[in-house]
Amino acid sequence: MKKLITLSSILIVTAHVYPQKDRTIDTIYTNDQKIVSLFFPDPIRQGITGTPNYTFSYNREKEQSFGLLQSTTGEESNLLVITSRGKVYSYILRHSQKLEKLHYFIDSTESIGHEHKSSHPNTGTSTKTIQKSKTDSLGKEIYSKLCSQLLGNPRSYNQIKYRDGLTIRMAKSVYYANEVYVVFEIENNSKIDFEINTLNLYTVNGNNKRKSSYQKLLLSPIYEYKIPALVPKGQSVQFVCVYPKFTLGKNEKLMVTLKELNGARDVVAKWK
């Protein structure tokens, strides 16, 4: 893995979010020569960009409904905005020398969900249990939306491994705060369907021929999005796995093991 791309819009809001119908996440293009303005239907309470080369300016002392975007050259990122009414908006950000649009008037229907803080009455039922259940549901809803967003925006696969008609690809990973999002693609060019038994991601250090110095650590996903049980012959599938945040040391690599159910077409790939 050569790079990690920070996306601060991958933000787990510590409140209840009620998602609306899926929509296509808009891409907003910016540069360092012009200011791009965004006008929201409600005053902005919070706005965050994923990487330092994108800046989103808004009035933090007195809530106003518009913000200003600029950027310097760099990888794509995201913008997440929460308004005073709890509406949540998310957009892809890309740097471009040519801007076809400088002003965006955001409609409330573009919101991806709603932040809503509430309290439960003191009943005989455990409040902690109720809130944990709803928090788990919230996490799944947000993970699902953000993973869908990643798959909806084409990415280059710079890590590729071939074997027996099977190809496994891994895109540049995306991380925010305490989580890493990894996009995989499995292509089956063989004449037999491939049933997935396991797909595991490890960090490895050292040479496995020298057992005393070899270390392998399994990275357990906290969420899996559209991971298939079977890859039909002649087809490819894409999916996302979300892991706790990790970083690679100087001599560390990533290792992916893809094992076939009721078969021997196993693929092992080591990537830096």
Count of domains for the chain: 2
Q: Domain ends where: 122, 152, 182?
A: 152
* Closest to 21 in 3D by CA, of 195, 160, 141: 141
Judge if 17 and 126 occupy the same domain.
yes
Cβ 181 vs Cβ 122: under 8 Å? no
Judge if 33 and 80 occupy the same domain.
yes
Judge if 128 and 87 occupy the same domain.
yes
Alpha carbon distance 63, 43 (integer Å): 5
Judge if 211 and 119 occupy the same domain.
no
Q: So what's the pLDDT on residue 212?
A: 55
Looking at 35-44, 156-165, 198-207, which range is the least confident one? 156-165
Q: So what's the pLDDT on residue 177?
A: 56
Q: Is the pLDDT of residue 120 over 90?
A: no
Provide, rounded to the nearest whole percent, the portion of the chain with pLDDT above 90. 36
Alpha carbon distance 262, 146 (integer Å): 33
The range of the structural domain enclosing residue 84 comes to 4-152
How many CA atoms lie less than 13 Å away from 35 in the CB half-sphere? 9
Q: Domain ends where: 97, 127, 152?
A: 152
Cβ within 8 Å of residue 151, ≥6 positions away: 183, 225, 226, 238, 239, 240
Judge if 93 and 137 occupy the same domain.
yes
For the segment 211-225, the average pLDDT, to the nearest whole number, is 82
Cβ 7 vs Cβ 145: under 8 Å? no
165 — alpha (psi -120 to 50), left (phi > 0) or beta? Answer: left
Please give the structure tokens belonging to residue 170. Answer: 């891994």
Judge if 262 and 202 occupy the same domain.
yes
| pTM for the model | 0.54
Judge if 178 and 115 occupy the same domain.
no
Q: So what's the pLDDT on residue 75?
A: 86
In DSSP terms, 235 is beta-bridged to: 188
Cβ 111 vs Cβ 91: under 8 Å? no
Cβ 231 vs Cβ 193: under 8 Å? yes
Cβ 24 vs Cβ 38: under 8 Å? no
Q: Write the pLDDT tens digit of every residue in 75-93.
A: 888 898 989 888 899 999 9
Judge if 75 and 190 occupy the same domain.
no
Judge if 87 and 202 occupy the same domain.
no
Looking at 118-122, 161-165, 195-199, which range is the least confident one? 118-122
Judge if 174 and 238 occupy the same domain.
yes
Judge if 12 and 137 occupy the same domain.
yes
Return mean pLDDT, the chain.
79
For the segment 164-176, the average pLDDT, to the nearest whole number, is 84
Q: Domain ends where: 152, 170, 195?
A: 152
Alpha carbon distance 250, 257 (integer Å): 22
Q: Write the pLDDT tens digit of every residue in 6-42.
A: 444 444 333 344 444 444 458 999 999 999 999 999 9
Q: So what's the pLDDT on residue 161?
A: 79
Judge if 10 and 145 occupy the same domain.
yes
Alpha carbon distance 14, 8 (integer Å): 15
* Closest to 20 in 3D by CA, of 97, 115, 85: 115
